[in-house]
Structure formats: structure tokens, C-alpha cells
Chain A
Amino acid sequence: MPQNSRKMNMVQAINLALKEEMQRDKDVIILGEDVGRDGGVFRITEGLLDQFGPERVVDTPLAESVIVGAAIGMAAYGLKPIAEIQFEGFIYPAVDQISNHAARIRSRSRGRYTGPLVIRTPYGAGIKAPEHHSESNEALFCHMPGLKVVMPSSPYYAKGLLLSSIRDPDPVIFLESTRLYRLVKEDVPEGEYTVPLEKARIVQEGKDVTVISWGFMLHRALEAVEGFDAEVIDLMTLNPYDEETILGSVKKTGRVVIVNEAPKVGSFASELAAAIAENAMLSLRAPIARIASYDVVLPLPKLEDHYMPTVERIRKALTDIMQY
């Protein structure tokens, strides 16, 4: 089915996914701040206003709560809204809508109404942005049953996962690493293909240690495993997540390193570590290691590099575990 492939970065791949899906399905509409004329502050929606018009690419007033709240109403009515929140740090006015409504509408109405909407938002550190532009708060959204949490790690997967998210019958928050937007280029097919939600992927097979990561941190993990016989898993959907793939790998390798960009306490790495301890304790040959950012308020750019997991910190964890 996919025809041509082109080398693209993640911005282009997400733009292509939006464009193709809007062509295919006229119920898909985009709303958010600066998504129209400006093409979004990261240019993700570039060109879409001209192609689809202001009824389908809606520049909204500056109000996150109603951007998401309106998307819920649209979705209940039968549309497939894609709400953009300009940065994850500005999503908090909408958290009431996400947690109390988007995630629960199916349950509250016993399936009479559903919320097939997508909330796209950039997250993460590494681009020396001002305050509130760099957090990685995925764990917060993983604590809202009813909401799916998706974090792509490359252009190809971003496109396939976004198409699945738009078509999914439940609400999805789609977290895009700002650091990744222009970091990696790879072949992305034009035309139809999807990557399933709720499935992890084994990026490389290995025997000695399982390394689990997602989003930008996957790239640091891949760098760090050089020289180790590591099996690397890209989680892709954090909630509901693919426990089978993880446990299968851990039972094989007996060792685990989880790399996540968020601060350690209450991180999603903690959920994975707990699930592994519960289900594969007897397969473990070393303690589970979580490599995370420090448990501090995310510092401004001068200290940003010291804050997030480095390749060296991951390598040290791998070395320690292998010598355990």
C-alpha cells in the first residue's frame, strides 16, 4: 500500500499524517493556538490552513481549557478533533477537561458517548527553551484511565502512531519530543500505513539486558548500549502498555534498565519496574535500574544538560548491572 518514501524529520512526518488523514476523512479537524496562519510554533500544521480552510484548521483564542473541552464536545458530536496544546507546560488549564471528561466520558455515559479525540503536544528538554517548555510529565497522564498515552520516537513511527491515534475510538494524548522534531531523518512512506497502539517494539534484540525507553530518551539509550548485548524496547504507547513484550524480554535477559526523561519519583519507569518485580522477579539476575532526571524543578537552560539522563549515566547503569 505505501507508495513513495521520502527522508523526513518528525515535523514533516506528523504534518504528512495530518494532511493525509484530513484528505481521507472530513471529520478530522484541527484546533489550537497559532495552528492556522502561523502553521504552529513548530510548523507542524504548516500549509494545512491553505489546503483545508479555517473551518478545519481553527486558530483559537488563547485558552487551553476550552481547546480541549471543545474537542470533547466535537468528538461526542461525531467529529475527530485534533487539539494542539502549544507546549505540554501549558496544558494544565485543560487537565480538568482531560482527566474529568475526556478520559471518563465513555465510562460516565456507559458507552453512549465517547471521546475519539487526539491532544497533540510537544514535551521534553534539550532545546534550551524558556521555563515551562521542557517538562516530561507523561506519568501524570498515565494516571487517567480512559486516556491513551502515546510517545513516538522517530518520524516513521510518529506518522503511523498518529494515524492510529486519530482513528482510535478513545481519547489519546500524543506527546512529541521537541528535541526529536528535527533531530532524526528517516524514510517515511507517503500514503496509508499505521503502527498499532498498545504495542511496544523491539528495536534491537539482545541477550544480556533489556533496556526500555520511549520518546527522545530512546536515542540516548541506543547510544549507550553500544558494546553491550542489549535488547532495546521502544514502548511507544505508555498506557495501556504492552506488558507481554516487556516481560517476555526480561524473562530472557534477566536484567533491566529503564530510561525515562521525567524525574524519578512517580515516573512511568516506576510503574514498569513494579510490574517487572511483580511478574518476573524470579527471572532477575540484578536489581532493576531506573535512569531518570533528578527529582528537582526542571532548571533553566544553564543547567538543563545536567538535569536529564546522559549517555554516560545510562552506560554506568548498564556496567553496574552487568557486574552485579
Chain B
Amino acid sequence: MPEKIIESFNVKRLDILDEKGNADESLMPSLTDDGIKRMYEVMVLARTFDQRALNLQREGRIGTYAPIQGQEASQIGSALALEKADWIFPSFRENGVYIAFGHPPHMILQYWSGDERGLITARDRNIFPVCIPVASHVPHAVGAAMAAKYRGDRIGVVAYFGDGGTSEGDFHEGLNFAGVFKLPVVFICQNNQWAISMPREKQTAAKTIAQKAYAYGFEGVQVDGNDIFAVYKATKDALDKAKQGNGPTLIECFTYRMLDHTTADDASRYRTKEEVEPWKEKDPILRLKLFMEKKGLWSEQYQEDVEAKAKAAVDEAEKKAESIAPPDPRDMFTNTYEKLSQRQQKEIRDF
């Protein structure tokens, strides 16, 4: 009996907007001029926020912070493809997603300064709390998608995680469930090339992260994660597919972590400046600006306005965050259970 090929896969890569700001019109998602400007403005806001958060951390005004610089297109492009009713399961580096999905920036600062209340999402939005144990939220997204499917709700569920997260069992178990039950879930991996000090090549011997989806029976695609049009299109297509009952998708956003892992890290211990340098030219915001300039959507004046608006919003967020009274020590007892236990009723008297 001859050996034969019984299955084979091709992994697609999607690029729409290049570094010079030229877009492949045949692949362009449908976006109005205002829609494109909104993408730009939210990215500028997110970067302004990120830089301010880093400064505040340095001054000891917030705690450890995980910056997103370089990943704005991956985060904002995907979040803007969501509808209000969709559910988000973030990791700990999704501040751009939070901002794009309408979570108030001052509350993000409140959370990173060590106050749980900063993560209380609005009644009409579903963002699960920041998830720090890597990949442990992937199963939650899967479960929410099972529930949505059971209820017959036409919503999509999105889980965000990093390249490092794809090594955890929870990632694999979650994707397997999603494939088996054909769930309305989109897995967004921001492959920023690093998991603290571990480069992507040491995280997996596979050529791409996208291809891992095929082992679980569904489609994976790699997109240029610094190209907001590609990220937006891939996410929108995957969500449409999910909502039509056609199952999950894994999207690998190929991007780069421009800064330290967190403010507690020092990337110079494990990577060179030479490695970082070429990624500066691939900047997601710069590239969209060049595109807009060509289309007549950008001017010096517009830039000034956008920056001024972003700065004002972040100033306001900082002021608001710092004017919030610290939590009462008794708050730590509430929400352990619905009601205080007998033991807690005794303990709370210490305050």
C-alpha cells in the first residue's frame, strides 16, 4: 500500500496597508472616511494614554503597568470590529481594547493603581476582568460562546492573549472545545514576538501561531498586526462567520512589543536595540497617517487637533483617577461571597 497524503493545510497571511501607507484596494474593508479617522484618533488616544501611564508608574502614582506601544493596530483594529453585544475576554495587555470598546480611561488607571473598582464595566458592555494567569481565560471565552450558542444569541466572543499564552494547556484545551462544538468565538493572538524574555522561536517550533488552529479543525490566519485595516477585516470576517454559526477562527496578529514587558522588566537584558529598530518603521499609527495623507484625510491642523484632544482626555483621566477616594478597608470583605460569612462578620470588626 502506498503512503498517501490524507490532509494538508495552507496558512494565509493578510496584508492590506503597507509601511508607505499604500492600501490594497481589492482587500480594503468597507470603511467610511469617518470610520478611518476614528481608527486613527483612538490609536493616538491609546498611545497617549500608554505613555502617560508609564510616566505615572515612574512617579509611583500607579503600580506595575504593561505597555501596549506597537500593538495599537492589533488592539484597536480588532476592538472596533466588535458590536456592542459581543463579549471580550482580555489578558493584561489590552488597554487599547478597553479604550476602543468604551471603557473609561480613568478607570483603567484606577485598576493599575491597585483598585479593583476600575474594572467594573458599564451595564451595556461585557469585558471580563483583566486576566493575569496567562491563557487561563481562554476556556471562559469558550464557555461564554457555548452559552450564547445555547441561547441562540447572535453574538461573538473574543479572547485576547499573547504568543506565550499559546504554550499553556488552557489555550489548547479551549481551542479544541471551540472546534468540537463549532463555537462563535474568535481567538486573537497578539504575537508581539516576546513573552517576557522568551523570543517567539523558543516558544513554539511551529512556523506560525495561526497554523495551530488547523490541529483543532478550524481556520487560522496570520495578519500584519501593525496594519489596522488587515486586523479589522480579519476580525470582522471572523465575527461574521461566528455569528452565522460557522465556528471559530484563530487570528495571529503579527506585531511587536516595542517596550519592556512591564515596568518591572528590563528588556535590554535579553534583546538588542538593533532588533527593535526596524519595527519603528512599521509603526501602526505612522502607516495609517501616511494613508490618510494620501487620501486627503490628514493635515497638520488635524494632527494638532487629534493630539490635543487625546492629551485633554488623558489629563482628564489622570485627574479623575487621582480624585477617587481610596477603597475602604471593609471593601475587601464584600464580594467574597454574596453575603458576609459568620467569620467575616467577626473579622470586619477590626476596622
A residues sitting closer than 8 Å to B (CB atoms) are 33-34, 36-39, 41, 59, 61-65, 89-90, 92-93, 128-133, 264-265, 294-297, 299-304, 306-307, 313
Contact = CB atoms under 8 A, between A and B. Distances in A.
Question: 3 closest pairs, A vs B, by CB?
Answer: A301-B114, A38-B197, A61-B167
Interface in B300-351: 326-327, 329, 331-333, 335-336, 341, 343-344, 347, 350-351
Contacts of B202: 59, 61
Interface string B158-171: 00000011011110
Given A37-B270, A265-B343, A302-B115, A59 B332 contact: no
B132 A131 contact: yes
A300 B203 CA distance: 30
A29 B330 CA distance: 46
Nearest to B328: A303
A307 B264 contact: no
B197 A61 contact: no
Nearest to B170: A93
A280 B251 CA distance: 63
B196 interface: yes
Given A37-B270, A301-B63, A303-B327, A132 B332 contact: no
Contacts of B111: 300
B196 A38 contact: yes
Given A63-B167, A63-B169, A65-B169, A303 B332 contact: yes
B329 A306 contact: yes
B129 to A, nearest CB: 9
Contacts of A128: 63, 114
5 contacts: A61-B167, A61-B204, A89-B132, A131-B130, A132-B133
B169 A302 contact: no
Contacts of B133: 89-90, 92, 132
B115 A295 contact: no
Contacts of B170: 93
**Main SS of the interface on chain A?**
loop
Contacts of A133: 132
Which of B92, B198, B336 is most buried by chain A, counting CB atoms within 10 A of its CB? B198
B134 A90 contact: yes
B347 A295 contact: yes
A297 B337 CA distance: 10
A59 B168 contact: no
A59 B115 CA distance: 33
B93 to A, nearest CB: 12
**Main SS of the interface on chain B?**
loop
Given A128-B114, A303-B329, 16 more contacts: A33-B198, A38-B269, A41-B265, A59-B197, A62-B203, A63-B167, A93-B136, A133-B132, A295-B347, A299-B331, A299-B332, A300-B114, A301-B63, A302-B115, A302-B326, A313-B350
Contacts of B196: 33-34, 38, 41
B132 A132 contact: yes
A20 to B, nearest CB: 24
Contacts of B350: 294, 313
B126 interface: no
Contacts of B326: 302
Contacts of B341: 295
Contacts of B14: none
A294 B168 CA distance: 32
A93 B351 CA distance: 36
A90 B134 CA distance: 8
A89 B331 CA distance: 22
B114 A302 contact: yes
Nearest to B130: A131
B69 interface: no
Nearest to A295: B343
A231 to B, nearest CB: 26
A300 B62 CA distance: 12
Given A37-B270, A130-B92, A61 B336 contact: no
Nearest to A65: B169
B195 interface: yes
B116 interface: yes
A294 B132 CA distance: 23
B48 interface: no
Which of B132, B326, B344 is most buried by chain A, counting CB atoms within 10 A of its CB? B132
Given A37-B197, A299-B116, A303-B329, A93 B203 contact: no
A303 B331 CA distance: 9
Contacts of B197: 34, 36-38, 59
Given A131-B132, A132-B133, A299-B116, A306 B63 contact: no
B113 interface: yes
B64 interface: yes
A248 B175 CA distance: 56
Contacts of B264: 41
Contact of B198 (A62, A264, A304): A62
